[in-house]
Structures are given as C-alpha cells and as structure tokens.
Amino acid sequence: MHISPAVAGTDRSVSAAFVDSVLPDLLAHYRLQRATVLEQAGIDGAVFNDPGRLLPLLDVMRLFLVILEACGDPGLGFETGRRVRPRSYQVLGYVILASRDLDEAIERLMRFEKLSGNLGRTERHDEGDQVRLCWRCPVAGEPGRMLTEAAITGWVTFMRPLMPPGAAPAEVCFRHPPPADAARYRDWFQAPVRFNADFDGVRLPAALLRHSLESADPGLGRMMEKEAGALLADFDAHGNLLSRVRSAIYRRLGSGDPSVDAVAAELGLTVRTLQSRLQRQGLAYQEVLDGLRRSLAELYLRDPALNLTEIALLLGFAESSSFSRAFRRWRGESPVSWRRRLPRPDPSG
C-alpha cells in the first residue's frame, strides 16, 4: 500500500477513541503484538489516553500500513469495520444509539460525523422505496479502499444489533474492484455486495428507516445531542489544531522555513497563542515538527527513487548529515540501515 506524503498537507484526522477501540480485536485476529506494532509505526501509546484526541490521518495510515505488511490481508479495512463498537464513536455513537429510529440516526450521523474525525463525508439520497447512503472518501488509491471498507463495514456493524432480526441492507456497494475472496464480504454482510459500483455505501429499504430502535431514549437523545452540538462548535472553532499545524509545517518544509513564527502567522495566531493551545494538548511545537518529519521520513525512505540528500531537502534539513542525525535520534539507527530492512515494494500497490 502506497501512502502519499501529501496526506500530511491536509487536516484530515481520525479520533484516537476509534483507533483504540478496534485495535485490540484487530491485532488479536492477526496475532500481532500491540507494543511491537505501535513501535514500528512510531506512535506513542499515550496518545490513546485521551479518547477525544484526533490523530492526524498520516499517522493512522502509517499504523495500518505496519499491520498490513505484517498480516498481508487486503481486506484489512473490512476486518477493521467488523470490530466497530458504540464506544468507537464516543459521543457520536451514543447520540445515534438514543435516536428514535434509523431515519433520525442517519440524520444525526451526517450532522455530527466530524466528531469521530475530520475524514470523509456521508450523503443521503432518497430514491423511491430505497435510500442510498454514500460515503465520500478524501483519499485515493489503496489507502482510500481501506478507509472506505472500514467506514461502510463499520456502519453496518454498528447498526445491525439495532435493526429487526434478519434485516440487512438491500445492497452494499464499493467502487473498487472485487477482492479475490469476495465471498467473505457477502457472507458477513448477509446482503448482495457489488464491486466496481458507481458509489461507495449502502442501499437501504426506505421502510427500514421507520423502524423504532430498541435503544431509543428521547431524553438521553436530547441530552447527548446538546453535548454533541457543543463539541462540534468547539471543534469548528478550535479543534483539529494538531492536524492544521502539521499541514502548515508540511507546506513549508520544502522552503526550509518550518519555524513556529512562520506557522503561527499562517494560522493567524500569535506564537504565544499557538504554543499555549498546543501545550493544552500536552504538545510542544518542536515535538510536532519532529513527529511530522519522522512520519514523512519513513514514507520517503520507502521510495527507492529518492536518495538521502533529496529526502533531507524534502524534510527541510539543510544537508543529509542533519537528517541522518535526526533519524538516529528517532529510530536508534541510520536511515540507510532502516531502509535496508523494509519489505520489498509490491508492484501492484
């Protein structure tokens, strides 16, 4: 799976709560050790201590790249979605659970989905006796396929216990080509699964949307909706700061000027305000800069067309020796030795 470094230039993110909720079962399924996977991905497990934290998409994709290289399962996104639980979505999940029916649940999903991460976008289209629910993924290629399968499978996993016994989508659709083991998908969804479709999402019988949810709780729903609204307002005003800072740094790395002064000015903040807001998240600016450089370095080192000098310049270092010293500090070995241990690239990826 090839991850474009340009992902670092976006403010896309995924909630730490979502990743942390699916990770234990997923790693157990593939017989992988959590500490080893996190270390290989360069992720500090402490980030999961704050469920409300948003993880930059680049870091999440690198984590799943490590898992994919270890398990070799092209259905990793599908298997991730199967392990979604209500707590995966935190407040969003509980406000959906308290909804009157599936119709209200979908409306709340669309209104508050940013709370589970600033990633894709859900759209609803009413088509006579069916409703088409689409998910717009902002990432292309194999990473987009994985994210899309995780999102759509997660929808069905989350809602299945709330629907009448035997109820299922009228159709599950993916725009990408079918995998070799498409039967695995049909067996689990218990519904027709169409690949090479013209949209990513599900078709639902319109009548199903009027079915009362067993977990419906109007009082709790109003309370959770109020909390979700407050969180969404805070997100729009101040949230996703880490991803926005990293995005600004990424755009300045090539010019060699990722200074805190330049980034603060681009974000319309004073240096003191930026540092204060980062500090409230337990971060320092240099830590954010080093983290982004490390993530990008490991992506660039996977590209055999780039030599160390070119990588150093892409990361905003004046010379390759500065990059090598930094990489030794991050990984405890030289970038050359780290690169030698990489799996051979998959020509199809």
Tokens encoding 251: 């755009």
Model confidence pLDDT, tens digit, residues 83-132: 998 778 888 888 998 999 999 999 999 898 888 878 889 999 999 999 99
CATH of the domain at 315: 1.10.10.60
- How far apart are alpha carbons 242 and 26 in whole angstroms? 26
191-211 residue pLDDT tens: 999 999 999 999 999 999 988
Identify the weakest region by mean pLDDT among 31-40, 115-124, 178-187: 115-124
215 in any annotated domain: yes
248 plus 231 within the same structural domain: no
Distance (Å, rounded) from C-alpha 280 to C-alpha 90?
21
pTM for the model stands at 0.84
In a domain, 347, yes or no: no
Q: Do 66 and 189 belong to one domain? A: yes
Residues 225 and 326 in one domain: no
Which helix (H) or strand (E) segment is 102 a member of? helix 102-112
Phi, psi of 196 (to 5 degrees): 55, 35
| Domain identity same for 172 and 265 | no
Domain span holding position 285: 240-340
Residues 6+ apart with CB under 8 A from 207: 129
Residue-wise pLDDT tens digits, 197-255: 999 999 999 999 988 888 889 898 889 889 888 888 877 666 678 888 888 999 888 77
d(CA 241, CA 53): 10
Residue 25 lies in a domain: yes
pLDDT tens for each residue of 282-295: 889 999 999 899 88
